[in-house]
Amino acid sequence: MKFIFLFLFLLAFRVAFGLSAPFFSPDELQTYLIGLKYYTTGAWPYFGPDLIVTETGFQSQIPGALEGLLIGLPFHLLPLPEAPFLLVNLLSLAGLAFFSFYAAKRLPEIPFWFIFAWLALLPWNLHESANTINPSYLLFGSCLFFVGFLESIPRLSSGWLSPPASFALMGFGLFWDMQFHFSWILLPPFVLAALACQWIGLKPKKNFSLHIVVKLFLGFLSGSAIPLAFLLPTLFRYGLSQGASGLRLSVGFNAENFMSFFTILARFFSLPSFELLRFIGLNSLERIQFLKDGWVLLPGLFLIAVGLLQPLVLVLAGWFKDPRHPEAQAIQRWTLLAFLMVWVSFWFTSKPPAAHIYYILLPLAALYSFYIGSRAASHRAWRIFALVCLAANLWFEAGYTVLKLKSQSLYLDRPLVVKSIQQKDYRILGERRPNSLY
């Protein structure tokens, strides 16, 4: 019963927060229009998110119907502008609840409710998974993917899932995320690593055979089946070339990104931290004005200080062993390898190393942060400090929600959206971008 109340509270809060996000901005509006077009025309949404590279002018769309369906189908049940916001937050919270349950099993000294609330209210999760913009749908797939990945590593597995079930979760998460953001290319190396670890772990016992390979493959395929069902119609009709369109982001070598090691390191470990500055303004003047206008000066200054220190603590603490959790060192190594993979991947892309591009890896970084935090969980002072952080974050984000609902949200012109839904004409709200595939 406590879980139900917590879930409903977090759902209501996150829906309100998501509704406070920019709605009539180009990317948000265009994403919403994809789902609204499906609802108003009934045409199958063969393509989802717009893929636009401002550095080169390249434009395409990511293949797959999931985005159009997840935004458009809720209108059939609730023909109101807020309907897609309810579904995206149900999905995000369901993924976080599943991942929090798994993290609490690994770290019983940290209560499940605390992990769940902490993750659900984390600034990156609020700003990237509560709105109907395409990255918001990544969290659900990523939470499932990384539980599957961690359980597929013999030395890390808690025994909660069998290897085939673990590969099924990875298959589902991979092909789910593939239809929302091109950062999905960061996930296949984990699948290959899991397969290699299965082989290394079973080879000494001479148990790794073709039979095991088939079971793992069938598990992966069974998990992939549902999201693949929404991708295959596009590939059958338009060909595989559309699926590889994002590869045009590649370049020979980007020296500037190569030199961004410490920038990427700081941003990577800011994902599970209270990073606020990037979300409240583009410069110091805008941020100061927000802190004044939102009545959140006290919690804001506190969380900004904590958020600046957290990445440093996470980086430094990772060098020390945790005797209570022998598997912690392996978690630390996999997290470090994930960061290095992100850094290397930016060597060969024209995109700057913006943190939202590797937001898909947040569950792994978050688990790493909980392992670090678990070392102090037995100290009463640290437990009180953690609760103060959680309360301050709730206060701050509530103030953010109230302020932004008035200045940038759907409610700047909700009647226009209502009219578009009622008359079943998405063009009343806006036209899709020129040269869009859907």
* Domain boundaries of the chain, sorted by first residue: 253-415
Planar angle of CA 20, 26, 30, nearest 5 degrees: 90
Q: Which residues contact 284 (CB under 8 A, 6 or more apart)?
A: none
pLDDT at 348 over 90: no
For 272, 292, 334, the CA distances from 314, given in Å and listed in that order, are: 10, 30, 14
Is the CB of residue 338 less than 8 Å from the CB of residue 293? Answer: no
pLDDT at 319 over 90: no
Q: What is the mean pLDDT of residues 191-196?
A: 94
Give this prediction's pTM.
0.94
Q: How would residue 206 be classed by pLDDT, with cut points 50, 70 and 90? A: low
Q: How would residue 205 be classed by pLDDT, with cut points 50, 70 and 90? A: low
- DSSP class per residue in 344-384: HHGGGBSS---GGGGGGGHHHHHHHHHHHHHTTTT-HHHHH
Q: How would residue 203 be classed by pLDDT, with cut points 50, 70 and 90? A: low
Interatomic CA distance for residues 136 and 66, integer angstroms: 13
Q: Which residues contact 121 (CB under 8 A, 6 or more apart)?
A: 10, 13, 390, 393, 394, 397
Q: What is the mean pLDDT of residues 312-327?
A: 88
E strands, 132-248, where? none
Q: Which residue type occupies 311?
A: P
What is the overall mean pLDDT for the chain?
91
Nearest residue to 193 (alpha-carbon basis) of 225, 166, 214, 161: 166
User: What is the tens place of the pLDDT at every residue in 64-103?
Assistant: 999 999 999 999 999 999 999 999 999 999 999 999 999 9
pLDDT at 306 over 70: yes
- Burial, 13: exposed, middle or buried (Cβ in 10 Å; 0-12, 13-18, 19+)? buried
Relative to beta strand 47-53, strand 58-63 is: antiparallel
Interatomic CA distance for residues 32 and 428, integer angstroms: 13
Q: Which residues contact 74 (CB under 8 A, 6 or more apart)?
A: 83, 84, 86, 87
Is the CB of residue 222 less than 8 Å from the CB of residue 167? Answer: no
pLDDT score at 243? 53
Write down the residue that tokens 């953690």 correspond to: 386
Q: Which residues contact 114 (CB under 8 A, 6 or more apart)?
A: 386, 390
